[in-house]
Amino acid sequence: MDEQTQQRMETLLASGIGMALSRLVAERYIKDAVPEQRGIKDDITRALLRAMTTATAAVVASVIIRQVASRR
């Protein structure tokens, strides 16, 4: 598998994993209040959780694609 294909697969997989993780995390930790009622703490929490899910998804996707590529 060439490098470009690996990068494309990793991007697609990371997007899917990120969406799933975001949905799980958002339901558990983020209370969807009306934007006018949210405070800075809510905004910071939301941003940090999104960043963590994005980073986790990228790492997991990279590991999966590396394992798949090494088997070929």
- Distance CA(56)–CA(26), nearest Å, equals 15
The answer on pLDDT for 3 being more than 90 is no
Cβ-count burial 36-57 (b if 16+ within 10 Å, e if not): eeeeeeeeeebeebbeebbeeb
pLDDT grade for 35, boundaries at 50, 70 and 90: low
The answer on pLDDT for 31 being more than 70 is no
pLDDT grade for 33, boundaries at 50, 70 and 90: low
Over residues 19-41, the mean pLDDT reads 76
End-to-end CA, the chain = 8
> Under 8 Å CB-to-CB from 32, ≥6 apart: which residues?
26
pTM of the model: 0.76
